[in-house]
Amino acid sequence: MNKPSELEALMRRFSALLMATGTVACGGGEKAADDVVEVEGVPAGVALADVAGSWNLTGTPEMEPFTPTSIAYSMTATDSEYGWTFTFPEQDPLDIRIIAVEGDSIVVEAGPFESVIRDGVMVSTRTVMRLEDGMLVGTFLATYETDPVETLAGTVEGTRAMP
């Protein structure tokens, strides 16, 4: 049997998430999250505690040429949805809002804040991260408050600075 494509794997995870959500929702609120049965081949999921600590991240835009070609920054993560921050070079820490923790992914938002690459322009970011072999990997979308609105997509990866 061939290895499933990335799209097929994503669809399986999404289907499993829908089934698990339906199982909990249809139980009239009586079932605990522990009652949800894992679907074979689907990752058990990530918890905020799994990523709690300090991280050194690098964001790399998809567009070329881009100066700088990547941005190094740090993230502080806690085992709850409160107290998360991004710290970009020469800026104060920015609060991060946890949008979702589902399957193997954590979705966070930050901003608006002054862009580190476009002086005087406000930006908001949405980042989707997953823990893979002890590293954080994922994607980001930066939305600039310009007229018309501009966006910049890219990848992010990080290593744990300390637990």
The answer on 58 and 10 residing in a single domain is no
Q: Are 20 and 35 in contact (CB under 8 A)?
A: no
How many angstroms separate the CA atoms of 1 and 148, rounded? 48
SS3 of 14, please? helix
Predicted confidence band of residue 14 (pLDDT cuts 50, 70, 90): very low
What are the pLDDT digits (tens) for 56-104?
A: 999 999 876 556 678 999 999 999 999 999 999 888 999 999 999 999 9
Q: What is the pLDDT of residues 97-133, one digit of tens each?
A: 999 999 999 999 999 999 988 889 999 999 999 999 9
pTM (two decimals): 0.71
55/31 same-domain check: no
Q: Considering its fold, how many domains does the chain have in total?
A: 2
One domain for residues 86 and 123 = yes
